[in-house]
Structure 1
Amino acid sequence: MKARPRNGAITAAGSPDQLRDRALELGLTNAEFDLICEKLGRRPNELELAIFSLLWSEHCGYKHSRRLLRRFPRASSRLVFGPGENAGAVDVGGGFVAAFKIESHNHPSAIEPFQGAATGVGGILRDVLALGARPIAVLDSLRFGEPDSARSRYLLDGVVRGIAHYGNAVGVPTVGGEIYFDRAYEQNCLVNAMCVGIARREQLVRSAAAGPGNRVLLLGALTGRDGIGGASVLASADLDESDTDKRPSVQIGDPFEEKKLIECCLELVERRLLVALQDLGAAGLSSSAAEMAAKGGVGIDIEVRRVPLREPEMEPFEIMISESQERMLCVVEPARVDEVTAICARHEVRATIVGQVTTTGQLRVFDNGRLVGEIPARLLVDECPTYELRGERPPRSLYPPPRPRLDAPADLRQQLLTLLGSPNLCSRLPVYEQYDWLVGSRTVLRPGEADAAVLLVDPEHDSRRAVAVATDGNGWRVAADPYRGSVEAVLECAANLACVGATPLGLTNCLNFGNPERPWAAWQLEHAVQGLADACRALGIPVVGGNVSLYNESERGPILPSPIVGMLGLVEDAANAPRAGFAREGDAIVLVGPGGRRSLAASELSRLRGEGLPEALAEFDPGDVIEVLARVRDAARQGILASAHDVAEGGLLVALAECALLGGLGAEVELDSAAEEELFGEGPGWFVVSGPRHAVAPLGQVIGVVGDERLRVRAGRESLDLALDEMRVAWSTPLAAALAGP
């Protein structure tokens, strides 16, 4: 690249055709290259072209989804920060706010599962930290191919170890999440990480730069070539059999460096020394500086030779787009720089002045004082071209039927044991036990103990107020019916929160889909977004932010359309939050629901039988479901429930078995019908709760009593009698075997 030192004007290196070819190589289109030239009034040089290719990528620019995301509700009396900040934040009372967000690290994890998952955790921690909130919990939603596949076992093992390595070392508990298996995820696993943080409201900080003349400081780790173009490039391209060649694009994490960075930034925020704070994620310095400038309506100058480097002789474009981890960018008034750097030194965190805020509105890049790049910040951040989706319903053959695992006909015993031992329903304890879920002393209910994690807001002064968090998403049901399947995902998450007595306050989502330029993927995405939006409006909660991950496909085909939702709610008294397992012998067992029959359409039983996608999911009234959620939530808040568990995948019999296994107590149950829809059907709004008969009977239909060490069910003319030990063997071994490797 060349520049004119006397007047600072930028000139492009190479012919117009060479630059256009380079733009195409970097993922831009001909039309986008022409638009860049038009907006700049000249051709970009290679550094500027590299920055545009990342900021205008799907991962950073949301080219195919931005218009759809405007459909999400954003208003709430509890909302403090919504979309546009690094994470969303809601008021949880007592002067505290909860910050939360979910993001994907799918493509890096498919290439290098350990580092991909580890840095996914590190990145989502910094999103919450950028608001000035202390990260207090991580949840992970994971998707893999069938566990009998060597590749899937390799990815599963690497991802779980990566999450455990980073979360345990950094000292943030992993308190929940979910794992599903389907061959559609064979090449493209999904790793979606959610983080929750707590802050006092008056200590929140924004990311908008302000104050011309203020200094821009880079905090944290050295900058290297690892992760150059990582998240932004990998997340905007299909994977193929040569994806291992892309390993240099996967970031490398250091949780101990992140721990120091977290404590340092929290002290700087507490002392109110920062004007603005931003994490360095996708596209590195380019993205963070441009976003801070655009949000504040100012410019930022960066001197690349001031950036501390891990590797010598890095080019300016490499320094600007490196995605090296454990770095934050902050704006500081000149008079406070010495105090900031002193605090950083005490925490052993590197702090370097790399630029300053200007009035130009430009992101300007200098190399030893020589201007080598100049782009309007708003052009990079706010004026990325967006595209209308042209959707068309996909053929059902897009997702072949699963391999049969259960022969028909089968008796109740065989059906239940097969379901309990299926990859999507078996115990997740072999994964949970690799995570530290207690560090921080906030965890009230451990993973697997309840349908949602419960964490104290202020454990030093208040043992009652808590937040509850859960994640959910069922790609198979969304593939069958993107709109209803997405509504169900939101209601299922709300049901998880209802089981612990939590009032939902907000939702974050990660939209994992295939190539949006294909009509069927566009159709799935549009209908799923509408379903999420309508469900959130029905619940009266805002979407506070999230992430979009598209192009999740390979030559073998696309993933299942997988909108993953994370929901946060408020628990007024954590002591009243019931567990999922039966708790006391003699308690009455009550089935609570909206009435009508559950359906086998796209159910786990139908999948085990090898049945393909149905034409649609069964209809339901969201209003009826929400009324049931409120009934269960209120009962849990009043402390009258000894246990509460929603009826989800596998249906009623699986829910009863899970309650027995989690509590170590059996049950005697009598049902009116042996119809498969009643026993194994699925649909939103159904719960199994237990407690004193006089207290829980008004909630629904009394179907049994807790006690003994067996699950005995009489359904019409059929009966089932299983020892807990026999169910536990079927339930506890499959995932442990998968984690054991080939």
Structure 2
Amino acid sequence: MTLDSVKHAEQTPETELPWAELGLKENEYAQIREILGRRPTGAELAMYSVMWSEHCSYKSSKVHLKQFGDKAPASDAMLVGIGEQAGVVDVGQGYAVTFKVESHNHPSYVEPYQGAATGIGGIVRDIIAMGARPVAVMDPLRFGAADHPDTKRVLPGVVAGIGGYGNCLGLPNIGGEVVFDDCYQGNPLVNALCVGVMKHEDIHLAKAAGVGNKVILYGARTGGDGIGGASILASETFDSSKPSKRPAVQVGDPFQEKLLIECTLEAFAEDLVVGIQDLGAAGLSCATSELASNGTGGMRVELDDVPLRDSTLSPEEILMSESQERMCAVVEPGKVDKFLAICEKWDVIATVIGEVTDGDRLEIFWHGEQIVDVPPRTVAHDGPVYERPMARPEWLDALQADDASKLARAADGDELRGQVLKLVASPNQADKSWITSQYDRFVLGNTVLSQPEDSGMIRIDDETGLGVAISTDGNGRYAKLDPYQGAQLALAESYRNVAATGAKPLAITDCLNFPSPEDPAGMWQFAEACKGLADGCLELGTPVTGGNVSLYNQTGDAAIHPTPVVGVLGVIDDVARRTPMAFAEEGQLLYLLGDTREEFGGSAWSDVIHGHLGGQPPAVDLERERLLGEILISASRDGMIDAAHDLSDGGLIQAVVESCLKGGHGARLVLPDGLDATTFLFSESQGRAVVAVPRSEELRFTDMCGARGLPATRIGVVDGDAVELQGQFSLPLSELRSVWEATIPALFG
């Protein structure tokens, strides 16, 4: 094999290279030539192609993501923000929490088990690279129609991959979502979140500082799986005419990852690491260029020293491989032996592959030849930036004008009863235990709340009870109707879910799942969602700590609904004071907090009962969300409520049914004055929650709501073994449970 060395590249400017096949545009290839002052070598071309991919470079989204920094609210809690491998927030008592959500959408469609499994593995490595011990994972998921044959292929594989990898790591899966919609048929969304805990002094960053410091690659051997995997898969639309991407999907080994976690944390504890980088998308291309770019000098790497699973790999393939369970550490020469000894103790392969230099170049050698000589920042950070054409979709006016409030209402109590049963049994509202039972939710012994609670909650400190709550939410139907409001509604719901458990929301992470950026309508949706989320975070005081953008989620002309998924993290001083969702005691008084209006645009009722999507999504009032959150947190802390459940998909009746089934007690509801039964039961007005108040606390609770200006309407009592709307219908819990639990097993069991 003849290698394209740097010297040879200088001497042969006319040589054609396969830049287009690697996903680069003509202008991008020209930009690379301009940066280098010559044509690139094959290895350099490989590095630029993966690092300048949409997935790694954010070249179409950077100009819009800047708002998250420009509009960031002041926050005493923020310790590490956007730009690092994961954000870090202060949660008190010397503890810091790092959390992040990322996508593994395209690989999970091609190979559901490995795509989802390695999505978990990748996000866990981001967390340990910050210096934290991972303590929990979550999985916001979107699939096509629940009864579609291909959903029966994709969903079981994805769920098995998440459960198999996470369970083997010994990490509880404490929350997430499962949503079905036709728009995700060819592009399921597999987002993965991990949260980790550390002390403030244990925070580590990705940088290669200190001339002479050694670069150590440790973990699994590098193989042919995942060559250009996430970086290429996530940077183009699917098209049946293109070759199979199956070889590009990474293959995970959770047992190797578990060893990697323990090895890394021990190296941190021994103060052996100057800088560290996980090998995820773009593999060694990313790790070497980002470490060098973030450091104070250059880097020299000997590619021959990289441990391989396949000796036939070319240097380009080694640089592009996204083989899993690998990390890169920068270590002082005097500490290398101790670092390698710790790796040997944990049976982790570790090799010195390079060192930090006093130059400003990333230089890589193979078989004695120099094959890479680049300014590292041009690879890692200074790639192309596009201001893509944007245009409000032509179809949006007609869609918004198709008002859902004009849909037919139930004529009588019997019809209402039937609609409640149909809603509760629909795939999106039905019990997800068939899925979540495949995940270990309680391993490590610190899980306080998990599915189907509004938020997952983890205890951080055994003595004080300090804990954190995390929720992820996103409603693509709302965002299709109005992406600006849709992003704020995702933020509001996740914020509300955290507050409903008694935790104070602190910060967010996001996974922005959108169609092709080359479609002006899709780009407009993305820009509007970014603006909405940035404006919302500023108003709520919850800074964005980091996240992920996933574009090209469409097959041909079939695009997904814009789906911004927002994860909110909150802190609770004592998890013993948490508020669960279950109505657990007869005689508790049920109060509806907030205002209910005729808001059905994008609602579960309009979808399930009428097969309709149109109109305006529910109005957003973030000041009301903040007030509701403060009331829920205060009531939880002071023992004024026994249960709380936020109102979102399916409205009041869905929340009441879920809380009744969870607690094993029924509820007698009374229709408030001024509301018709359909609006009362199914409206998805925001800024609302239903709470169960002990009779002894009713006056204190209502006085607090009144003094703060939050509407609180008594709507019933926990009682009996049925959900009853007085004068309209009664539904035995046994009947509700039967239809609620039957749907998902019937589809996938």
- The interval holding the TM-score normalised by the smaller chain is over 0.9
CA distance in 2, matches of 1:128, 1:297: 24
CA distance in 1, matches of 2:243, 2:643: 47
Kindly provide the CA deviation profile for residues 54-85 of structure 1, in whole angstroms up to 9, marking residues without a partner as x: 11110010001011111014442111111111
102-111 or 608-617, which deviates more: 608-617
Contact 1:451 1:580 in 2 (8 A): yes
Aligned-pair CA distance for 1:14: 6.9
Question: Counterpart in 1 of 2:709?
Answer: none
Q: Out of 451, 475, 480, which is 2:454 matched to?
A: 451
Question: Counterpart in 2 of 1:435?
Answer: 439
Alignment of 1:238-317 (within 5 A): 238-241=237-240, 245-317=244-316
Aligned-pair CA distance for 1:163: 0.3
Q: Out of 727, 732, 736, which is 2:741 matched to?
A: 732
Aligned-pair CA distance for 1:470: 0.6
Q: Which amino acid aligns with 1:693?
A: R
CA distance in 2, matches of 1:554, 1:679: 37
Kindly provide the CA deviation profile for residues 120-173 of structure 1, in whole angstroms up to 9, marking residues without a partner as x: 000000000001100000000000001111101110000000000000001111
Contact 1:10 1:373 in 2 (8 A): no
CA distance in 2, matches of 1:665, 1:610: 30
Question: Counterpart in 2 of 1:551?
Answer: 552
Question: Counterpart in 2 of 1:515?
Answer: 516
Question: Counterpart in 1 of 2:50?
Answer: 54
State yes or no: 1:88 paired with 2:92.
no
Contact 1:96 1:198 in 2 (8 A): yes
Question: Counterpart in 2 of 1:504?
Answer: 505
CA distance in 1, matches of 2:200, 2:343: 24
CA distance in 2, matches of 1:234, 1:489: 26
Aligned-pair CA distance for 1:625: 2.5
Aligned-pair CA distance for 1:299: 1.4
CA distance in 2, matches of 1:312, 1:104: 31
Alignment of 1:453-492 (within 5 A): 453-459=456-462, 461-462=463-464, 464-492=465-493
CA distance in 1, matches of 2:63, 2:668: 53
Question: Secondary structure of the equivalent of 1:584?
Answer: coil
TM-score of the superposition, structure 2-length normalised? 0.94
State yes or no: 1:424 paired with 2:431.
no
Contact 1:10 1:374 in 2 (8 A): no
Aligned-pair CA distance for 1:615: 4.0
CA distance in 2, matches of 1:174, 1:435: 6
Question: Counterpart in 2 of 1:18?
Answer: 16
CA distance in 2, matches of 1:556, 1:607: 23
Gaps in structure 1 of 5+ consecutive residues: none
Aligned-pair CA distance for 1:609: 3.5
Q: Which amino acid aligns with 1:591?
A: L
Percent identity reads: 44
Contact 1:10 1:372 in 2 (8 A): no
Question: Counterpart in 2 of 1:413?
Answer: 417
CA distance in 1, matches of 2:477, 2:394: 14
Alignment of 1:517-536 (within 5 A): 517-536=518-537
State yes or no: 1:31 paired with 2:27.
yes
228-237 or 698-707, which deviates more: 698-707
Q: Aligned-pair RMSD on alpha carbons?
A: 1.9
Question: Secondary structure of the equivalent of 2:151?
Answer: helix
Question: Secondary structure of the equivalent of 1:238?
Answer: coil
CA distance in 2, matches of 1:359, 1:418: 68
254-263 or 24-33, which deviates more: 24-33
Kindly provide the CA deviation profile for residues 365-384 of structure 1, in whole angstroms up to 9, marking residues without a partner as x: 10133211111101112211
Aligned-pair CA distance for 1:264: 0.5
Question: Counterpart in 1 of 2:160?
Answer: 161
Alignment of 1:173-252 (within 5 A): 173-241=172-240, 245-252=244-251
Question: Secondary structure of the equivalent of 2:431?
Answer: coil
Q: Which amino acid aligns with 2:503?
A: A
Question: Secondary structure of the equivalent of 1:140?
Answer: strand
Question: Counterpart in 2 of 1:355?
Answer: 354
> Against the structure 1 CA distance between its residues 395 and 658, is the aligned structure 2 distance closer, same or farther, given a 3 Å change threshold?
farther
Q: Out of 710, 713, 716, which is 1:701 matched to?
A: 713
State yes or no: 1:149 paired with 2:148.
yes
Question: Counterpart in 1 of 2:127?
Answer: 128
Contact 1:428 1:735 in 2 (8 A): yes
Aligned-pair CA distance for 1:228: 0.3
CA distance in 2, matches of 1:663, 1:416: 19
Contact 1:503 1:571 in 2 (8 A): yes
CA distance in 1, matches of 2:618, 2:741: 31
Question: Secondary structure of the equivalent of 1:733?
Answer: helix
CA distance in 1, matches of 2:612, 2:310: 52
Aligned-pair CA distance for 1:119: 0.2
CA distance in 2, matches of 1:97, 1:255: 25
Q: Which amino acid aligns with 2:616?
A: A
Contact 1:203 1:272 in 2 (8 A): no
> Against the structure 1 CA distance between its residues 59 and 166, is the aligned structure 2 distance closer, same or farther, given a 3 Å change threshold?
same
Q: Which amino acid aligns with 1:519?
A: P
Question: Secondary structure of the equivalent of 1:731?
Answer: helix
Contact 1:572 1:637 in 2 (8 A): no
State yes or no: 1:640 paired with 2:640.
yes
Q: Which amino acid aligns with 2:578?
A: A
Contact 2:399 2:481 in 1 (8 A): no
Q: Which amino acid aligns with 1:273?
A: L
> Against the structure 1 CA distance between its residues 90 and 4, is the aligned structure 2 distance closer, same or farther, given a 3 Å change threshold?
closer
CA distance in 2, matches of 1:508, 1:14: 47
686-695 or 471-480, which deviates more: 686-695
Question: Counterpart in 2 of 1:687?
Answer: 689
> Against the structure 1 CA distance between its residues 4 and 619, is the aligned structure 2 distance closer, same or farther, given a 3 Å change threshold?
closer
Question: Secondary structure of the equivalent of 1:738?
Answer: helix
CA distance in 2, matches of 1:618, 1:196: 31
CA distance in 2, matches of 1:659, 1:339: 54
Aligned-pair CA distance for 1:619: 3.0
Aligned-pair CA distance for 1:454: 0.8
Contact 2:489 2:620 in 1 (8 A): no
Aligned-pair CA distance for 1:597: 1.1
Kindly provide the CA deviation profile for residues 329-361 of structure 1, in whole angstroms up to 9, marking residues without a partner as x: 000001111001111111111111011111222
Contact 2:422 2:609 in 1 (8 A): no
Kindly provide the CA deviation profile for residues 280-331 of structure 1, in whole angstroms up to 9, marking residues without a partner as x: 0001001011011111132121111100000112111111111000001000
CA distance in 2, matches of 1:239, 1:110: 10
Q: Which amino acid aligns with 1:327?
A: R
530-539 or 73-82, which deviates more: 73-82
CA distance in 1, matches of 2:8, 2:234: 30
Contact 1:3 1:11 in 2 (8 A): no
Aligned-pair CA distance for 1:664: 0.8
State yes or no: 1:568 paired with 2:564.
no
CA distance in 2, matches of 1:506, 1:107: 28
63-72 or 634-643, which deviates more: 634-643
Question: Secondary structure of the equivalent of 2:426?
Answer: coil
> Against the structure 1 CA distance between its residues 4 and 473, is the aligned structure 2 distance closer, same or farther, given a 3 Å change threshold?
closer
Contact 1:280 1:327 in 2 (8 A): yes
Contact 1:12 1:46 in 2 (8 A): no
Q: Which amino acid aligns with 1:417?
A: L
Contact 2:210 2:296 in 1 (8 A): no
Aligned-pair CA distance for 1:114: 0.2
CA distance in 2, matches of 1:242, 1:433: 38
Question: Counterpart in 1 of 2:732?
Answer: 723
Q: Which amino acid aligns with 1:419?
A: L
72-81 or 249-258, which deviates more: 72-81
CA distance in 2, matches of 1:241, 1:409: 44
Contact 2:46 2:319 in 1 (8 A): no
Q: Which amino acid aligns with 1:521?
A: G
> Against the structure 1 CA distance between its residues 508 and 598, is the aligned structure 2 distance closer, same or farther, given a 3 Å change threshold?
farther
Aligned-pair CA distance for 1:694: 4.3
CA distance in 2, matches of 1:58, 1:519: 16
State yes or no: 1:337 paired with 2:341.
no
Question: Counterpart in 1 of 2:650?
Answer: 650
Kindly provide the CA deviation profile for residues 412-467 of structure 1, in whole angstroms up to 9, marking residues without a partner as x: 1111111101111111111111000111111011321x2101101123x44x1000
